[in-house]
């Protein structure tokens, strides 16, 4: 081969590789890529969703179309049950289950403490779905735990001892919820159809408490009573069927929203909505001729954080408790002539008498039952009974190893069920002055923060910890 030929071959090969190198550099492999940018879904202009925009009750999904119609009729329709006293009294003698209780079903939830209500064989709970950052009202079958439907709406928020808090209220075929950020939603309790909604934060400039809204809705004779405790409005009454506001109480006392709930009471013959806000305690008339009128208020006892609700202990006395060192107080409300007078008769620190951090005590036949708070001295976290005549010395306390943390308790006939916050259920036989431990059973292995109140109907007790709801058969029908 001639040197000239070799030279041309070398030049050719070099040129070939140069062209390859050049092509490799010039070729853009991503030229066919399409950027995923906002607006590719053809959403009409002006309907762009802002990150924090909440459309209450926006989404609905039916999960089961062939669930059998339940024959159960039991009701636990709201916070503290049908009589707002955390007690279920059966018409027939109870057929208690002997031996271990069976767990009928278990349902996972978002982290939180929202507790369910029960109505005609269905369970309703306002859960928080962490994945979708959404409040979700879930309707479950009481006997199987099968989810029947859900209605939800997006509310991005940060975890703060979980998310969910409150207990729905059921009345007039409707279910009403209050979300952790103060979103009120009303749905048909059978179909889940959306009826109406109120955003308390937007409408009343409510300042949502640090650990989110703990207020449970109260429906009283077709009127939904809310305490937004906002800039101008302390309390409102809403027609539960239409969502129309019937009356409003000006916030002349400048209370802010607490974690406590409105409780109806009969004080001196006057039906009253009693509420502990941040700033004090107040009573608003529930009487038809003066509905919404602020009757009385007291600001001598105003803990910065209040979770328990007021407890009526006599015709004119209300027992107040709060945690974080606040202790307890006795409020007396008297009507003299046309004027009301609300006086704090006594108040004391947690270690000095009856108190509670989170749960509202029970008035059982005139005796007061509580779980003492963690700052309750040597008796901290124990179950205790007090007589209204002496709020400082308990007439009975549970044993030293029977401590319940912030767990809930309720009464069914003559038994008290106390749920230890780690998932163990204690059952006591009740007497006015004492209790006798009948049994204890672990319901949740390694339960965490079982603080949500329990619900009971049709022989089934529903308990929850921070991530699970379980139904336990405690009596047969």
Partner 1 sequence: MDRRDFLRTCGAIFAGGVVLAAGGMLTTKTKGEEGDVFWQIDPFACTQCGRCETDCVLPVSAVKCFHANKVCGYCDLCGGYYRPSVKDLNTAAENQMCPTGAIQRKFVEEPYFEYTIDESLCNGCGKCVKGCTSFGNGSLFLQVLQDLCQQCNECQIARVCPSNAIQRVSYKDAYKLKDHA
Q: Which residues bind partner 1 (CB under 8 A)?
A: 34-44, 47-51, 55, 58-61, 63, 129-134, 154, 156
| Structural tokens at position 88 | 């279920």
Q: Which residues contact 2 (CB under 8 A, 6 or more apart)?
A: none
CB of 54 to partner 1, least distance (A): 11
Buried b (16+ CB within 10 A) or exposed e, 350-365: bbebbbbbbbbbbbbe
End-to-end CA, the chain? 107
CB of 155 to partner 1, least distance (A): 11
Instruction: Please say which residue, 49 or 345, places its beta carbon nearer to partner 1.
Output: 49
213 within 8 A of 229, measured Cβ to Cβ: no
* Residue 454 to residue 170: CA distance in whole angstroms: 16
Nearest to residue 284, comparing CAs of 301, 260, 264? 264
CB of 55 to partner 1, least distance (A): 8
CB of 259 to partner 1, least distance (A): 25
The DSSP output letter for 200 is H
Q: Which burial class, exposed, middle or buried, applies to 26 when counting CB atoms under 10 A from its CB (0-12, 13-18, 19+)?
A: exposed
Residue 430, SS3 per DSSP? strand
CB of 39 to partner 1, least distance (A): 7
Torsion sign across C-alpha atoms 259, 262, 266, 270:
positive
DSSP one-letter string for 231-284: SSEEEEEEETTT--EEEEEE-TT--B--S---EEEEETTEEEEEEEEBTEEEEE
CB of 58 to partner 1, least distance (A): 6
Residue 84, SS3 per DSSP? coil
Nearest to residue 291, comparing CAs of 311, 308, 271? 271
Name 187's bridge partners. 175, 194
Instruction: Please say which residue, 35 or 98, places its beta carbon nearer to partner 1.
Output: 35
CB of 134 to partner 1, least distance (A): 7
CB of 6 to partner 1, least distance (A): 33
């Amino acid at each position: 081969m001639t040197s000239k030929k070799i030279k041309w071959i070398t030049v050719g090969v070099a040129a070939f590789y140069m062209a390859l190198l050049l092509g490799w550099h010039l070729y853009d492999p991503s030229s066919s890529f399409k950027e995923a940018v906002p607006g590719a879904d053809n959403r009409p202009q002006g309907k762009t969703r802002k990150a924090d925009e909440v459309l209450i009750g926006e989404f609905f999904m039916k999960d089961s179309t062939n669930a059998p119609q339940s024959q159960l009729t039991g009701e636990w329709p709201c916070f503290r049950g049908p009589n707002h006293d955390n007690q279920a009294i059966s018409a027939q003698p109870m057929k208690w289950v002997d031996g271990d209780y069976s767990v009928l079903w278990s349902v996972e939830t978002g982290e939180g403490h929202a507790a369910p209500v029960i109505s005609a064989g269905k369970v309703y709970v306002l859960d928080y779905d962490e994945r979708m950052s959404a409040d979700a009202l879930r309707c479950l079958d009481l006997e199987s735990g099968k989810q029947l439907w859900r209605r939800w709406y997006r509310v991005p928020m940060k975890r703060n001892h979980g998310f969910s808090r409150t207990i729905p209220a059921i009345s007039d075929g409707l279910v009403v919820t209050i979300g952790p950020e103060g979103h009120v939603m009303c749905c048909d309790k059978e179909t889940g159809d959306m009826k109406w909604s109120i955003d308390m934060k937007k409408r009343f400039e409510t300042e949502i408490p640090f650990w989110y809204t703990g207020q449970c809705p109260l429906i009283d004779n077709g009127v939904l009573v809310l305490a937004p405790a906002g800039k101008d409005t302390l309390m409102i009454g809403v027609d539960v069927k239409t969502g129309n506001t019937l009356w409003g109480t000006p916030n002349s006392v400048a209370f802010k929203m607490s974690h406590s709930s409105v409780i109806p009471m009969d004080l001196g013959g006057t039906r009253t909505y009693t509420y502990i806000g941040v700033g004090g305690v107040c009573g608003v008339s529930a009487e038809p001729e003066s509905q919404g009128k602020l009757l009385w208020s007291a600001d001598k006892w105003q803990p910065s954080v209040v979770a328990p609700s007021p407890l009526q202990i006599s015709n004119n006395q209300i027992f107040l408790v709060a945690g974080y060192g606040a202790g307890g107080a006795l409020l007396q409300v008297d009507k003299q002539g046309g004027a009301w007078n609300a006086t704090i008769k006594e108040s004391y620190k947690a270690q000095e008498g009856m108190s509670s951090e989170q749960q509202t005590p029970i008035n059982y036949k005139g005796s007061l039952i509580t779980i003492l708070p963690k700052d309750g001295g040597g008796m901290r976290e124990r179950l205790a009974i007090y007589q209204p005549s002496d709020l400082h010395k308990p007439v009975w306390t549970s044993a030293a190893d029977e401590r319940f943390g912030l767990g809930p308790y309720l009464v069914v006939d003559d038994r008290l069920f106390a749920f230890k916050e780690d998932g163990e259920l204690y059952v006591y036989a009740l007497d006015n002055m004492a209790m006798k431990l009948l049994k204890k059973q672990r319901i949740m292995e390694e339960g965490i923060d079982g603080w949500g109140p329990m619900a009971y109907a049709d022989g089934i007790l529903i308990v929850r910890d921070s991530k699970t709801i379980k139904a336990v058969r405690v009596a047969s029908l």
